[in-house]
Amino acid sequence: MASSKPRRVRKDVADAAAKKDTVPGSPGSGAPTLAEPTTPRSPLPPKGEQGTPAPMTPTGASTGLPPTANGQQGDYLTASNGARLRDTDHSLKAGRRGPTLLQDHHLREKITHFDHERIPERVVHARGTGAHGTFTGYGTADGVTRAGFLAKGKETPVFVRFSTVLGSRGSADTVRDTRGFATKFYTDEGTFDLVGNNIPVFFIQDAIKFPDIIHAAKPHPDREIPQAQSAHDTFWDFVSLHTEAQHHTIWNMSDRGIPRSYRTMEGFGVHTFRLVNAAGDTTLVKFHWKPKLGVHSLDWEEAQMLAGLDPDFHRRDLYDAIESGAFPEYELGLQLFPDMPDETFGDIDLLDPTKFVPEELAPVQLVGRLVLDRTPTNFFAETEQVAFHLGNLVPGIDVTNDPLLQGRLFSYGDTQLTRLAGPNFAQIPINRPHVPVNDMLRDGFHQQAVHGGVAPYHPNSLDGGNPFEAGDDEQAFLDVPVTVAEAPKIRANPVSFDDHFSQVRLFWRSMSPVEKEHIVRAYTFELAKCYEQTIKERQLQCLANVDPELCEQVATGLGLPVPKPTKELTEETPSPVLSQIGREWPSDGRTIGIVVDTDAPDAGLGDVRAAVFAAGMVPLLIAAHGGTVGDLPVQRTFATARSVEFDAIILTGAPAPAPDAIPARDAKAGAKANGKANGKANGKAKGKAIDPRVLLLVEESWRHAKAVVAWGAGAAVLEATGMVGSPGVLVADSGEAALAELQRLLPAHRVWERFPATIS
Ligand code: HEM
């Protein structure tokens, strides 16, 4: 038995946990009364963990108002003109049984506004979730950039939006897809948007292909299926024909395509940018976000189950983590490269967005820390209306000629003209800069500012010459005067962009055996979902050019012949840092399911629950029925709990089948779970029947390589399932020791040794 001393936890998490012993997720900021309140009162404040855009004017002046100034005001219901209303439950009618009158302006306003509540969703990255936070510079980038927000100790407010790419706004969080990681820094020198993904390379090298890859990956235009999936013919048709997409695709097929949480995801700016320091020297750079909790992923079966059981899994995880004080944290890192005329590093073309630079060749240098500590107060106003734009640059950061980046510089501002209905989207509260804005842009739909003066042109004398152009001394943005080589005007890529396979092979060779196995299964699943055999065969040809074993395993699963490579299989040096396995990370914000026998609750239950809170994790009690066990609230019943919600299970009892178990179905599930139970069928261990849903919970946790720890009467569940002795399945002699075992197992994320991989 390992030491029962719990690991030390971060102080702010412990402090937050100490303040509350309730699980996150309460819907409102005050407890509701049973009867409808009737005494007029002002709006309730936002929940403690919620933030709003800072109250700035449309032109970037601080209003000095409290954040609640962004929301509704006053005790009484009003029309939009502020006039108080006496009735909003009945339309104005000619008599109690008569027709509704057109003059009912309140009815018309209420319904008209409702009719127009929706705006177009984003053409890509429609499904997303956001959080507010603070970025603090370390000062370690001072030598390479004059960007003020990276200065030592400088704190800058940020808003981050995480997203999937393919699905519609209402699609599930846990689908296999790239994740967006877009950060808006409200710096003292203007807003800087770092609009990245959780994958460091992209499908295409030139922005002109973006509509093609997205049309191929989105649902088929005739039937509009499948939703939020790449497992269909048009996607694989495109990527197998357009082989520059193979690199991004293998990352999608790896565990990176199904993150455990937005908190356990890296972020990448993808493109190479150009930094400028105070002396005007330039350095090429790639941006990285490093999550404090490490990179972890879901198991594919878990991801599929979650898409049905909890389609909001990543959203909920982000909000709950912030509410419970386990604030998501990331460090911003830079990979720096000398700004040479050929814009390459070794033999890697830095302008090719389908290539990355292994960290072993160019280490990531950490330059600041991001902490997300506020959830939005209003999803639409903040997460839906936030508008990112790659042209939001600040002095010290400039773009390069990466042809994908160049097209993006046009696309984002353009798409928002439609999505946010006009050119004034920068004036929406979440998009407002935190510095004075004097842009000479005028009028347009939804203009919020009341501009003075008569001369919105430059130069002028009628407004005293205002606004004035800034010089170097006034921190003006500098377009770096890069020399453009004399060249013909052509539609063509640099020759170095022609290598589409070497880094795909590098990625494959950097994976551990179990990760390789997952990649094989992902390709096999996705291609098996394609209808056309030619498309499968064409993709197998691409895999043959990556690695023979990968190709053979996928071909076997598809029942197709294994093609020979048509390209030389180069000897690529693996990049071990790409693997998720083999390191240990903090377990902040993990969810621990605690199974309780309400007929015989263990005396140590309360202490363990409190210790899980104190360790910065979230304990959820699972019992036969809702309500309380002693004075502890039950969060899940056997009917509502599924294993995928939990990172680990603690068994404190072996509950008998509850009255709501469905005998025929659940007995079968129990019998299956007991397949290895040495003849103790139907959930019976030592003569006692166990609720089959508890057995299913444990069996699924085992299948997904999660830690399962029991103590006291809980050990009977492990005996009944025949799991005792399996790696990561343990019986402890006290609640404290059980938690200590979990804390020993969780930092590796899963019990990887439970299922030895079949691939070398
Ligand atoms: C390195 C390649 C790319 C990355 C990392 C990337 C990343 C992102 C992210 C994170 C978002 C979601 C922003 C949000 O949360 O609001 C987004 C949206 C979008 N992206 Fe990209 N993207 C890439 C390439 C492109 C290209 C090449 C184009 C077009 C030429 C493009 C067009 C768009 C559009 C139109 C949106 C929707 C924006 C909105 O409606 O607010 N992206 N992209």
Per-residue pLDDT of 437-465, as tens digits, reads: 999 999 999 999 999 999 999 999 999 99
Residues 262 and 381 in one domain: yes
Nearest CA to ligand 1 atom 5: 196
Residues 615 and 700 in one domain: yes
- Enumerate the H helices of 658-714 as residue ranges: 663-673, 692-703
The DSSP string of 16-44 is HHHH--S-S--SSSSPPPSSPP-S--PPP
Q: Is the dihedral of CA 66, 69, 70, 74 positive or negative?
A: positive
Retrieve residue 178's tokens.
Answer: 């790239």
Residues 366 and 255 in one domain: yes
Task: Tell whether 21 is covered by a domain.
Answer: no
Q: Is 520 in the pocket of ligand 1 (CB under 6 A)?
A: no
Atom nearest to 268 CA in ligand 1? 5
Helix (H) or strand (E) holding 618: strand 618-623
Residue with token string 């589409």: 500
Atom nearest to 123 CA in ligand 1? 37
Give CA–CA dist 205/498, Å, rounded.
Answer: 10
Residues 536 and 634 in one domain: no
Q: Is 159 in the pocket of ligand 1 (CB under 6 A)?
A: no
Atom nearest to 130 CA in ligand 1? 15
Residues 508 and 608 in one domain: no
Task: Tell whether 427 is covered by a domain.
Answer: yes
Catalytic residue among 70, 106, 113, 197: 197
Q: Is 404 in the pocket of ligand 1 (CB under 6 A)?
A: yes
User: Does the structure show a pLDDT above 60 at 2?
Assistant: no
Give CA–CA dist 670/662, Å, rounded.
Answer: 11
Retrieve residue 119's tokens.
Answer: 């705006």
With the most atoms of ligand 1 within 8 angstroms of its CB, the residue from 251, 384, 408 to mutate is 408
Nearest CA to ligand 1 atom 27: 207
Q: Which amino acid is at 469?
A: E
Atom nearest to 163 CA in ligand 1? 15
313 CB-near residues (< 8 Å, 6+ apart) = 172, 173, 174, 306, 644
Atom nearest to 196 CA in ligand 1? 5
| Cα(551) to centroid(ligand 1), Å | 32
Nearest CA to ligand 1 atom 6: 196
Give CA–CA dist 171/179, Å, rounded.
Answer: 13
| Share of residues in the chain with pLDDT > 90 (%) | 90
Segments of 540-605 assigned E as strands: 591-595
Per-residue pLDDT at 664: 67
pLDDT in tens, 644-671: 999 999 999 999 999 988 766 665 544 4
Q: pLDDT-based confidence at 19, cuts 50/70/90?
A: low
Catalytic residue among 81, 106, 113, 125: 125
Strands 329-338 and 267-268: unpaired
744 marked among binding-site residues: no
**What do you get for the CA distance between the two ends of the chain, in Å?**
32
Whether 268 contacts 286, CB under 8 Å: yes
Which CATH number goes with the domain that contains 160? Answer: 2.40.180.10
Retrieve residue 425's tokens.
Answer: 């989207």
Atom nearest to 122 CA in ligand 1? 40
| Cα(156) to centroid(ligand 1), Å | 23
Residues 555 and 655 in one domain: no
Q: pLDDT-based confidence at 710, cuts 50/70/90?
A: very high
Average pLDDT of the residues in 676-687: 44
Closest to 439 measured CA to CA, from 753, 191, 124: 191
| Cα(251) to centroid(ligand 1), Å | 18
Answer with the one of 525, 552, 578 that is the final residue of a domain.
Answer: 578
**Count of all residues that appear for the chain in the document:** 760
Q: Is 201 in the pocket of ligand 1 (CB under 6 A)?
A: no
pLDDT in tens, 27-54: 998 889 999 999 999 999 999 999 999 9
Retrieve residue 278's tokens.
Answer: 């105070």
Q: Is 632 in the pocket of ligand 1 (CB under 6 A)?
A: no
SS3 state at 396: coil
Nearest CA to ligand 1 atom 42: 408
Give CA–CA dist 310/301, Å, rounded.
Answer: 13
Residue with token string 């002699």: 733
Q: Is 407 in the pocket of ligand 1 (CB under 6 A)?
A: yes
412 marked among binding-site residues: yes
| Cα(412) to centroid(ligand 1), Å | 7
With the most atoms of ligand 1 within 8 angstroms of its CB, the residue from 119, 122, 428 to mutate is 122
With the most atoms of ligand 1 within 8 angstroms of its CB, the residue from 119, 122, 124, 380 to mutate is 124
113 is catalytic: no
Number of domain units in the chain:
3
pLDDT in tens, 106-120: 999 999 999 999 999
Task: Tell whether 508 is covered by a domain.
Answer: yes
Q: Is 512 in the pocket of ligand 1 (CB under 6 A)?
A: no
Average pLDDT of the residues in 72-94: 96
Task: Tell whether 123 is covered by a domain.
Answer: no
| Cα(699) to centroid(ligand 1), Å | 40
Per-residue pLDDT at 3: 35
Residues 570 and 622 in one domain: no
Task: Tell whether 586 is covered by a domain.
Answer: no
Answer with the one of 556, 578, 600 that is the final residue of a domain.
Answer: 578
Per-residue pLDDT at 485: 87
Average pLDDT of the residues in 167-174: 98
- In degrees to the nearest 10, what's the CA dihedral of 80, 85, 87, 90? -40
Q: Is 411 in the pocket of ligand 1 (CB under 6 A)?
A: yes
Question: Considering the chain, what is the average pLDDT of its residues?
Answer: 93
Q: Is 124 in the pocket of ligand 1 (CB under 6 A)?
A: yes
| Cα(410) to centroid(ligand 1), Å | 11
678 is catalytic: no
With the most atoms of ligand 1 within 8 angstroms of its CB, the residue from 389, 412, 431 to mutate is 412
| Cα(432) to centroid(ligand 1), Å | 20
With the most atoms of ligand 1 within 8 angstroms of its CB, the residue from 166, 168, 195, 197 to mutate is 195
| Cα(218) to centroid(ligand 1), Å | 14
Give CA–CA dist 700/698, Å, rounded.
Answer: 5
Q: Is 163 in the pocket of ligand 1 (CB under 6 A)?
A: yes
Count other C-beta atoms under 10 Å from residue 556's C-beta: 12
Per-residue pLDDT at 6: 35
Task: Tell whether 410 is covered by a domain.
Answer: yes
122 marked among binding-site residues: yes
Residues 409 and 510 in one domain: no
Per-residue pLDDT at 13: 45
Long-range CB contact pairs, 632-641, < 8 A, 24+: 632/605, 632/606, 633/22, 633/23, 634/596, 635/23, 636/593, 638/691, 638/693, 638/694, 638/697, 639/693, 641/593, 641/693, 641/697
Atom nearest to 386 CA in ligand 1? 16
Residues 596 and 725 in one domain: yes
Closest to 400 measured CA to CA, from 345, 449, 361, 466: 345
| Share of residues in the chain with pLDDT > 70 (%) | 94
Per-residue pLDDT at 9: 38
| Cα(182) to centroid(ligand 1), Å | 9
179 marked among binding-site residues: no
pLDDT in tens, 593-617: 999 999 999 999 999 999 999 999 9
User: Does the structure show a pLDDT above 50 at 683?
Assistant: no
Give CA–CA dist 704/298, Å, rounded.
Answer: 9
- Whether the bond between 436 and the residue before it is cis, its omega within 30 degrees of 0, is no
pLDDT in tens, 206-231: 999 999 999 999 999 999 999 999 99
Residue 345 vs residues 334, 335, 504: alpha-carbon distances, Å: 15, 11, 18
Give CA–CA dist 306/126, Å, rounded.
Answer: 19
Q: Is 125 in the pocket of ligand 1 (CB under 6 A)?
A: yes
Give CA–CA dist 368/326, Å, rounded.
Answer: 19
User: Does the structure show a pLDDT above 80 at 680?
Assistant: no
Whether 644 contacts 300, CB under 8 Å: no
- Whether the bond between 358 and the residue before it is cis, its omega within 30 degrees of 0, is no
| Cα(750) to centroid(ligand 1), Å | 33
Retrieve residue 60's tokens.
Answer: 């970037």
Give CA–CA dist 551/407, Å, rounded.
Answer: 34
Per-residue pLDDT at 662: 78
Whether 328 contacts 373, CB under 8 Å: no
Domain that holds residue 658: 591-754
- Whether the bond between 226 and the residue before it is cis, its omega within 30 degrees of 0, is yes
pLDDT in tens, 466-485: 999 998 889 899 999 999 98
- Whether the bond between 467 and the residue before it is cis, its omega within 30 degrees of 0, is yes
Q: Classify 653 in phi/psi space as left (phi over 0), alpha (psi -120 to 50) or beta.
A: beta
Nearest CA to ligand 1 atom 41: 387
Q: Is 128 in the pocket of ligand 1 (CB under 6 A)?
A: yes
Residues 535 and 610 in one domain: no
Give CA–CA dist 482/99, Å, rounded.
Answer: 71
Give CA–CA dist 324/589, Å, rounded.
Answer: 7
Strands 729-732 and 707-711: parallel
274 marked among binding-site residues: no
Atom nearest to 197 CA in ligand 1? 5
Residue with token string 């003020």: 148
SS3 state at 158: strand
Task: Tell whether 267 is covered by a domain.
Answer: yes
Strands 329-338 and 282-291: antiparallel
Which CATH number goes with the domain that contains 556? Answer: 1.20.1370.20
Residue with token string 């292994």: 358
Which CATH number goes with the domain that contains 626? Answer: 3.40.50.880
SS3 state at 273: strand
| Cα(408) to centroid(ligand 1), Å | 7
Q: Is 415 in the pocket of ligand 1 (CB under 6 A)?
A: yes
Whether 683 contacts 695, CB under 8 Å: yes
Per-residue pLDDT at 472: 80
Nearest CA to ligand 1 atom 31: 408
Retrieve residue 185's tokens.
Answer: 């820094």
The DSSP string of 429-440 is GGG--SS-----
Strands 628-629 and 632-633: antiparallel
User: Does the structure show a pLDDT above 90 at 591?
Assistant: yes
Per-residue pLDDT at 682: 44
Retrieve residue 404's tokens.
Answer: 């994908």
| Cα(381) to centroid(ligand 1), Å | 20
Q: Is 376 in the pocket of ligand 1 (CB under 6 A)?
A: no
Per-residue pLDDT at 60: 97
Task: Tell whether 271 is covered by a domain.
Answer: yes
Residues 618 and 550 in one domain: no
Q: Is 131 in the pocket of ligand 1 (CB under 6 A)?
A: no
Give CA–CA dist 626/634, Å, rounded.
Answer: 6
Residues 572 and 628 in one domain: no
Answer with the one of 400, 431, 462 that is the final residue of a domain.
Answer: 431
